[in-house]
Structure 1
Amino acid sequence: MTLLVVGASGHLGGEVCRQAVAAGERVVGTYHSGGVDVPGVEAHRLDVTDRAAVRDLVARVRPDAVVSTPYRYAEWTVTADGAAHVAYATAEAGSRLVHLSSDALHAGRPEPYADDEPPSPIFPYGAAKAAAETAVRAIDPGAVLVRTSLIVGDERSKQIRLCLDALGGRAALFTDEIRCPVDVTDLAAAVLDLVDSRYAGPLNVAGPDPVSRAEMGRLVAARFGLDPGGLKTTTSASTGLVRPTEVRLDSSRAAALLPTRLRGIRELLAP
């Protein structure tokens, strides 16, 4: 199989590439800057906002499947338009598409969100992710849209670094912002499971443990043997930020459908 990973220089994209290469697949990965630091990957620079460039690369690579992971938090043209360009080129080539979405497209509430619930964004990034899903579903109804949450890994990952910074007094973690963190290796394996499946539409793929960012900071402290007393916390409400607070994803469908086990953050960060 030839797999094209759009956004291979990112945390998740790089892990998808590593696992696919280890499985013996031909892997082509794209980057916007910095290259792709995964041995065995055929790397190409790509600007996903350039529709013609996306179509040209997909036509040349002729992938059996495409995993689409690129985003920039504050850029609609990358997150929304870029996703549409990838979906269009993938559908044109007749390739399988796995599109990475986010829990950020929900408004937030105490009750868990099911897989098929429509987006209800309340801030620009969530709106961009919702627009991306709308475009992908319209262009390629057979695509799978993976709705995930905070992606964690080792101490090099963004979310773990944020926790370490808060433990060192260099950042603050919200006590009122709840998510369902997922390990990057679990998520990448699940994405590759979905490449080989016929599942279509949105699917929640996140960890089973809903935790606040502050609680995750305390788990990181225990994992690395650090003093949790130094953890700096605040509330999302007090900062004036407009973004969802409680977003719990019900990933029971993915747990039943996929061979990959999605581990909870408490298991992942056990000392």
Structure 2
Amino acid sequence: MRICVVGASGFLGGELVRQAATGHVVGATYLSRPGATAGVDWLPLDVRDRTAVADLIRDFAPDVVVNAAYNQSDWTATALGAAHVADATRSCGGRLVHVSSDAVFSGRAVTYTEDCVPDPITPYGAAKAAAEVAVQAIDPSALIARTSLIIGDSGSSHEELVHALATGRKQGFLFTNEVRCPVHVSDLASALLELAASNRSGTHHVAGPDAMSRHDLGLLIAHRDSLNPAHLPSGLAPSSRPLDVRLNCVQTQKHLRTRLRGAREFLR
């Protein structure tokens, strides 16, 4: 199978490429720097450029496109970029898996199933919600996968923040009142590739079963990495942020061989 990973130099994108490179022909796009995985085609791409997206996907001719590209501070990259990828994938007859986020929800309902209507309260959440609408309108057969905080064995932004705070390299604190459902990057990538190979469409939730605050997650990371958890400062997130967003993944997990582990398990 020919798989194109858009946004492949990011944390999730890099893991998708690593897993897909075993047994598949992989095209991996990047904005500013290629990733390190060998044996794949690293292809420069700015998803804000509609013509460039159309040309790249047409020339690579993928069976599947997994779009993991985003920029939290750039509406065009996050929202319009998703539309450009969806349109180009549909035009070449490929299957699209679009990676979305729990940021599309406000947190007022706390627990969210796949049929819950997005109600974002941040600009990034609004851009991700707009991307979902665009993808659904352009290609109703596409699969949208909402996820949560992505953690690994190292290298994620939250893990890097925990290390910086615990060692005094950065000032700040971890929120005790902002709750998410962390997922391990390898579980997430495996689930996305599994869904890509299926005939499923529509919205799916792909996150871990453990709901926890950013501070509690930081404590688990600190214990795993032999850092002093007492050095992790705590504080409250402002009400302008989604405070408690829990993705219910029960329905999606029924269709997966990949088991989505909770953070208390994979950080043990």
> What band does the TM-score fall into relative to the shorter chain?
over 0.9
Q: Distance in 2 between matches of 1:9 and 1:222?
A: 28
**What does residue 20 of structure 1 align with?**
20
Contact 2:86 2:138 in 1 (8 A): yes
Match of 2:248 in 1: 250
- TM-score by structure 2 length? 0.97
State the alpha-carbon separation in 1 of the partners of residues 71 and 29 from structure 2: 15
- SS of aligned partner of 2:216: helix
**For 1:150-203, what per-residue CA distance to the aligned partner results, in whole angstroms no more than 9, with x for missing partners?**
000122221111122232342310000000000000000001001111111111
Displacement after TM superposition at 1:36 (Å): 2.3
| Amino acid of the structure 1 residue aligned with 2:82 | A
Query: Does residue 224 of structure 2 align to residue 223 of structure 1?
Result: yes
4+ long deviations beyond 4 Å: none
Q: Distance in 1 between matches of 2:235 and 2:110?
A: 23
Q: 1:77 aligns to what SS in structure 2?
A: helix
| Partner in structure 1 of residue 119 of structure 2 | 120
**C-alpha contact (below 8 Å) 1:167/1:217 kept by paired residues:** no
Deviation of the 1:226 alpha carbon: 2.2
C-alpha distance in structure 1 between counterparts of 2:108 and 2:131, whole Å: 22
SS of structure 1 residue aligned to 2:252:
helix
SS at match of 1:257: coil
Q: Does residue 207 in structure 1 map to residue 208 in structure 2?
A: yes
Q: State the number of aligned residues.
A: 266
Q: Are the equivalent residues in 2 in contact too, given 1:6–1:67 (CA < 8 A)?
A: yes
- How far residue 212 of structure 1 moved from its aligned partner, in angstroms, is 0.1
Q: Structure 1 residue 220: deviation in Å?
A: 1.1
SS at 1:261 equivalent: coil
Cα deviation for residue 221 of structure 1 reads 1.6
Aligned to 1:56: 55
What residue identity is the alignment partner of 2:189? A
CA contact (8 A) 2:11 2:155 kept: no
Cα separation, 2, equivalents of 1:160 and 1:16: 19
- Give unmatched runs, 5+ long, in structure 2: none
2:134 aligned residue = 135
Q: 1:244 aligns to what SS in structure 2? A: coil
Q: Percent identity?
A: 51
Distance in structure 1 (CA, Å) of the matches to 2:9 and 2:227 = 30
CA distances 1:16-61 after superposition (whole Å, capped 9, x unpaired): 1110112x10000100001122111101101111101111111111
| TM-score computed with the length of structure 1 as normaliser | 0.96
CA RMSD of aligned residues (A): 1.1
> 2-side partners of 1:109 and 1:218: how far apart?
26
Distance 1:36 1:222 in 2: 29
The whole-number CA distance in structure 2 between the counterparts of 1:114 and 1:69 is 21
Deviations 1:50-90 (A, max 9, x none): 10111111111110010001001100000000000000000
The alignment partner of 1:162 has SS state of helix
One-letter amino acid matched to 1:250: N
1:233 matched to which residue of 2? 234
Q: Verify the 8 A CA contact 1:30 1:36 in the aligned structure 2.
A: no
Pairwise mapping of residues 85-104 of structure 1 onto structure 2 (< 5 A)? 85-104=84-103
After the TM superposition, which residues 150-169 of structure 1 pair with which residues of structure 2 at under 5 Å, given as runs? Answer: 150-169=149-168
Distance 1:139 1:208 in 2: 31
Corresponding letter in the other structure for 1:232: P
Q: Residues 98 and 144 of structure 1 are in contact (CA less than 8 Å); yes or no, is this contact kept in structure 2?
A: yes
The corresponding residue for 2:260 is 262
Deviation at residue 225 of structure 1 after TM alignment: 2.1
Q: Distance in 1 between matches of 2:225 and 2:17?
A: 28
Query: Per-residue CA shift, 1:120-161, capped at 9, x if unaligned?
Result: 000100000000000000000000100000000122221111
C-alpha separation in 2, matches of 1:161 and 1:204: 25
Give ranges in structure 1 of 5+ residues lacking alignment: none
Aligned-partner residue type, residue 89 of structure 2: T
What SS does structure 1 have at the residue aligned with 2:254? Answer: helix
